[in-house]
């Protein structure tokens, strides 16, 4: 169980953009914006987690990736673009790329890894997704991950893996509300390469 605490009191769930009002302005009569805000803390297994290194030392990165608050924490760490954070998070979650891609929260983490990872890391994520890539593309959350794979593909190996995974079921993708977005992204990327 992961929870967010402010001044030692549970304040609930962080919204997708990472904002939580923690209950508003209180009874002080001051507007909420003027009240001093304590930094959000992430608690895991009864211990506060402040850094990727602390989470890794607890062997908790994959657990955090599947949790709404934990996943947001990891995304925030990836946004810092620290190579060691990207590498550490990548190593912890790469084996779970398919379940995370279709997870309501984990899909955002996989998208960030595709965006900030090295070309070799992107290749591993793409190749790791190939067996289930069509099913991921048909999923309401997974479609965003596959679109990001198409968008950031920067090697022949990545492009070939994506094409080989999607081509046998291209008509299923075209007819599906989520899969259609993947096909549109493929066409847009192909058109820009040919221009």
- The band of 134, judged by pLDDT with boundaries at 50, 70 and 90, is very high
CA distances in angstroms from 47 to 8, 60, 94, 97, listed in the order given: 12, 11, 25, 27
- The band of 191, judged by pLDDT with boundaries at 50, 70 and 90, is low
Which phi and psi angles does 151 have, rounded to 5°? -65, -40
- Give the pLDDT confidence score for residue 11 in this predicted structure: 38
Task: Say what the pTM is.
Answer: 0.78
Q: Is the pLDDT of residue 158 over 90?
A: yes
CA distances in angstroms from 88 to 81, 83, 130, listed in the order given: 12, 9, 23
Q: What is the percent of the chain where pLDDT is above 90?
A: 71
Across the chain, mean pLDDT equals 84
Model pLDDT for residues 43-72, shown as the tens digit of each residue: 888 888 889 999 999 999 999 999 999 999
- The band of 162, judged by pLDDT with boundaries at 50, 70 and 90, is very high
Q: What is the percent of the chain where pLDDT is above 70?
A: 76
Return the number of other C-beta atoms located less than 10 Å from residue 152's C-beta: 18
CA distances in angstroms from 95 to 98, 126, 136, listed in the order given: 8, 12, 15
């Amino acid at each position: 169980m992961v929870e967010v605490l402010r001044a030692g009191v549970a304040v609930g769930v962080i919204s997708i953009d990472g904002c939580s009002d923690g209950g508003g302005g209180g009874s002080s009569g001051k507007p909420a914006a003027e009240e001093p805000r304590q930094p959000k803390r992430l608690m895991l297994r009864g211990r506060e987690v402040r850094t990727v290194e602390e989470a890794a030392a607890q062997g908790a990165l994959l657990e955090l990736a599947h949790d709404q608050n934990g996943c947001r924490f990891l995304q925030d760490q990836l946004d810092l673009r620290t190579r060691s954070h990207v590498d550490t998070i990548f190593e912890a979650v790469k084996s779970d790329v398919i379940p995370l891609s279709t997870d309501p929260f984990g899909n955002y983490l996989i998208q960030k890894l595709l965006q900030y990872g090295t070309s070799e890391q992107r290749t591993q994520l793409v190749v790791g997704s190939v067996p289930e890539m069509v099913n991921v593309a048909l999923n309401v959350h997974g479609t965003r991950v596959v679109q990001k794979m198409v968008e950031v593909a920067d090697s022949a190996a990545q492009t070939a893996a994506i094409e080989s995974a999607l081509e046998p079921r291209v008509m299923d993708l075209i007819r599906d509300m989520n899969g259609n977005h993947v096909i549109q992204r493929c066409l847009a990327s192909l058109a820009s390469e040919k221009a």
